[in-house]
Amino acid sequence: MPTALPRVAWIGLGVMGSPMSEHLIKAGYPVTGHTLEAHKLDRLAAAGGTPAATVAEAVRGADVIVTMLPADPHVEAVSYGDDGVLAHARPGALLIDMSTVAPRTSIALAEAAQAGGKGVRVLDAPVSGGEAGAVEGVLSVMVGGAEADFAAAEPLLGTFGTTVARCGGHGAGQTVKAANQLIVAVTLQACAEAVVLLEKSGADLATALDVLGGGLAGSAVLSRKRHNFLTREYAPGFRLDLHHKDMGIVLDAARAVGAALPLGSAAATLVASARARGDGGLDHSALLRGVELLSGTAS
């Protein structure tokens, strides 16, 4: 007899969480989900999942609990307290937090779970790849936690991740995600500056970006955001508001270990500036708007 797939509780059905949970359902996992928006629960039901009205209802009896939430306060609110995940998780359940939060938040959650006496195991497993990666099931998943718990979670994570790796103990996944967001922010800013340089110099932008993409300057950032740069369309695949939050995590993590981030600090300032101008709801490729403003080409 084939072994039954673990029962999954999924908390947080946003831009990333909805398609990720749907990959699990398609792979045969029984998924019960909870989120605050009724239409997203309807989407889960239409995909074959089971909606839950509360966190407690979703978590009750689950073998694996996945949280995919916007920021540290949301993870803490869902995890702790009488109505939280830790209060209602069954003994021995595996809690996988896939939100992007500070490493210290993930470490504190793992410690609280251990202290709870139920033997709830915790992994931090943030992802990279944005909405497109979630929809296509090609995310990169960076995991922190015990090796045995990672081994148990790896098949599940592989339903929506093509690169799934344990990076170390608790908090390590979040540290790698912080490094990812640092690289993405700096690369986006460099691409934006290159776009303005090319256009002000009279080069054909589409051709130039194709050439750059085929050389050492090529990157996933450049290929995925090429359309945005060419059209100045910034429908959010990953909002500047969220990248602003993530850059706060980057700088906090760097301070904690004494790492100097000269370019990272500058990129964080530019992201904050874009948000202050009202661009927080746009895709993070809208950093181009700031370069255009500085260069006198903003429309």
Is residue 48 classed as helix, strand or coil in its secondary structure? Answer: coil
DSSP letter for 237, please: S
* Strand stretches in 69-179, DSSP E: 94-97, 121-124, 127-128, 139-144, 161-168
Active centre residues (catalytic) = 177
Phi, psi (degrees; rounded to nearest 5) at 127: -125, 160
240 is written with which tokens?
């500047």
124 is written with which tokens?
């931090």
Is residue 123 classed as helix, strand or coil in its secondary structure? Answer: strand
Residues 6+ apart with CB under 8 A from 19: 131, 134, 135, 137, 160
Residues 6+ apart with CB under 8 A from 283: 225, 228, 234, 235, 236, 237, 238, 239, 240
Contact (Cβ atoms closer than 8 angstroms) between residue 35 and residue 11: yes
d(CA 234, CA 229): 9
Residue with tokens 């792979």: 27
Residue with tokens 């937090």: 97
Residue 64: Cβ-neighbour burial (10 angstroms; 0-12, 13-18, 19+): buried
